[in-house]
Chain A
Amino acid sequence: MKKVLIFIISIILITTLLAACTQSGPASVLDKIKKDGKILVGTSADYPPYEFVDSAGQKTGFDIELMEEIGKKMGVTVEWVDMPFDSLIAAVKEGKIDISISCFNYDEDRAKEVGFSKAYFNSEDSFIANKDFTGKIEKPEDVAAYKLGVQSGTTQDTWIKENLIDKNLIKEENVQLYERVDQAALDLAAGRIDILMADYVPAKALLKANPGFQMLLHEAIASAGPLNIVLPLNDEKVKTEIDKAIDTLQTEGVIDQLAAKYFGE
């Protein structure tokens, strides 16, 4: 009995070790996409109006519809994979998903781990607070005097770290990180944080849902604006394909249509 058990365990250990040693991965993820006829796109569907779920449980939003159009241009079906925002980059790196669209801004640190498509839209950052907030915010650095909230893993999070915390304008314990922006909004309403830094368009959506909020300031601060799709690192083939689709949709006016539909301007 003992010998049998030891034998079984050794087999399990050896197979695990062997499996861990094998290398796999296509040269470009585009080959796999074309072969399967589908593209695995990661997103974090908790960010209205870029990506969220409607009452039928279907994913919808600017990014979602845009990607569906890109899929059509590429001739493949889009298979959505939803996960918390800060898992997305790791998932593209590990090949669990092919690409990701989730209101990503280009960022140097991110560019070391993953690739980026060309810009498909421009975004701004914004600061929101409760209506009874009386501080004067004239430039972004003014917010350092208050308790801040931000979604973790975002470019706003990086901006706060590099421009406020590292420059000693604000103490680290005065910056609260959240997994999702709606959690931050709850804390803002409860008064646990004074100011929330988020992308401009989702912030406007939060203002609509929370009449007690006000917009303090909005401009392109953290990310200098453009939104890009996250791609595997150094994958030129898939980048060319996706960039081509974005260009076509831009000239056809599809992107402007979607912006009008979801951002109302």
Chain B
Amino acid sequence: MDLGNFLSYIASGTLYTLGASLIALPAGLILGLLFALLYLYGGKVLSNLMAVYSTVMRGIPPIVLLFVLYFVVSGSVNLSPFLAGSISLGIISSAYQMEIIRGAIQCVSGGQLMAARAIGLSQTQAVREILLPQALRIALPSWSNEAAIVIKDSSLIYALGVPEILRRAQLISASTQQPFLAYSAAAIIYFALVFITTRLLGRLEQKLAIPANP
């Protein structure tokens, strides 16, 4: 039994894990940003719609939602389990990211928006040029939290048959009857991915920080 080979088999699932995260996070960001803006500035109907979306998506366990979305998203268009799973993860993440961005926008002092309108900027310009840059900086710490969660939640797509890290660890555990080794290997890889990501985002935070702030 070749231990090195088994471990590299598990490690090669990293491609799928990273791929899924790199699809889900940006998709969640784009949708989350859109929905946050709709919630805050879209008028009564849209605002309520977004509130319902957020409550429902955050109220159901991700794996349950994943199965539901997988059979909806992949039922009409023929997508691979990997793509369907990643997009579903993005949709789930968008609800959480919507709340992060909404909270961050509401953190920016109301005076900023008022002043922007006072000097003649339209609502769209004020939001885009004045509000969002400040809000996104405020959102960054929470967002790096969400990034870590998405990387870890990518393991849920094992249930759809994607050969990512967790599924490979399960197969090796079944073949070799060495669960501790297989799952420890998976744990170390996930930890490394999340650690590197949060470190990089921490650097970004430092770069964007206002020097005068404590």
Beta-carbon contact of B34 and A5 below 8 Å: yes
Other A-B pairs, 17, CB within 8 Å; known A52-B171, A82-B171: A1-B41, A2-B41, A16-B76, A42-B161, A46-B174, A46-B175, A47-B174, A53-B172, A57-B12, A82-B163, A84-B158, A84-B159, A96-B81, A181-B174, A182-B177, A209-B177, A210-B177
Is residue A218 contacting chain B, with contact meaning CB distance below 8 A? no
Known: A52-B175, A55-B1, A96-B81. A1 touches B161 (CB 8 A): no
Contact of B170 (CB < 8 Å), options: A55, A96, A180: A180
User: How far, in whole Å, are A180 and B158 apart by their CA atoms in the complex?
Assistant: 13
Residue A91 contacts which of B161, B173, B174, B175 (CB distance < 8 angstroms)?
B161
Whether B109 is near chain A, meaning CB under 8 Å from some CB there, is no
Closest chain-A Cβ to B162's Cβ sits at a distance in Å of: 8
A134 contacts the other chain (CB 8 A): no
Which of B2-10, B137-145, B146-154, B187-195 lies on the face that meets chain A?
B2-10
Q: Which of B2, B75, B123, B158 contacts A1 (CB 8 A)?
A: B123
B38 interface hit (Cβ, 8 Å):
yes
Question: Does A168 sit at the interface, judged by CB under 8 A?
Answer: no
- Establish whether residues A57 and B167, one from each chain, have CB atoms under 8 Å apart when the complex forms: no
Which of chain B's residues has its CB closest to A91's CB?
B161
Contact at B75–A20, with CB atoms within 8 Å?
Answer: yes
Interface: A19 (CB within 8 A):
yes
Q: Are A53 and B76 in contact (CB under 8 A)?
A: no
Contacts of A240 in B (CB 8 A): none
B124 within 8 A of A: yes
Instruction: Tell me if A94 is interfacial: C-beta within 8 Å of chain B.
Output: yes
Evaluate contact between A87 and B9: CB separation under 8 angstroms. Answer: no
B12 closest partner in A (C-beta): A57
Q: Which residues of B contact A56 (CB under 8 A)?
A: 2, 5, 9
Q: Of all chain A residues, which has the CB nearest B3?
A: A55
SS class of chain A's interface: helix, strand, loop or mixed? mixed
In the complex, what's the smallest C-beta–C-beta distance from B10 to chain A, in angstroms?
9
Chain B 19-63 residues near chain A, CB threshold 8 A: 34, 37-38, 41-43, 46
- Contact across chains for A81 and B43 when beta carbons are under 8 A apart: no
Chain B at the A interface: SS class: helix
Please, how many angstroms separate the alpha-carbon atoms of A20 and B75 in the complex? 7
Contacts of B75 in A (CB 8 A): 20, 94
Whole-angstrom distance between the Cβ of B17 and the nearest chain A Cβ: 16
Contact B161 A53 (CB under 8 A): no
Our pick among A48, A83, A94, A96 for the contact of B174 (Cβ within 8 Å) is: A48
Q: Are A87 and B174 neighbours in the complex by a CB distance under 8 Å?
A: no
Check B74–A96 contact: CB distance below 8 A. Answer: yes
| Interface bits A40-56 vs B (CB < 8 Å: 1, else 0) | 00100111100011111
Among residues of B, the one whose C-beta sits closest to the C-beta of A205 is B177
Interface check B212, CB cutoff 8 A: no
Known contacts A19-B76, A19-B77, A82-B163; A53 and B34 CB within 8 A of each other: no
Neighbouring A residues of B123 by C-beta, 8 Å: 1
Evaluate contact between B81 and A52: CB separation under 8 angstroms.
no
Distance A5 CA – B41 CA, assembled complex (angstroms): 11
What are the nearest 7 A-B pairs in CB distance?
A83-B161, A46-B174, A57-B9, A19-B76, A55-B2, A209-B177, A55-B5
Chain A residues with CB below 8 A from B46, complex form: 2, 5-6, 9
Q: Chain A residues with Cβ under 8 A from B204's Cβ?
A: none
A97 to B124, CA, bound (A): 48
Q: What residue in chain B is nearest A206 (Cβ atoms)?
A: B177
Q: How far is the CB of A5 from chain B (nearest CB, A)?
A: 6
A42 to chain B, nearest CB (A): 7
User: Residue on A with the closest CB to B122?
Assistant: A1
Contact with B along A156-195 (1 / 0, CB 8 A): 0000000000000000000000001110011000000000
Contact call B76/A180, Cβ cutoff below 8 A: no
A210, closest chain B residue (CB): B177
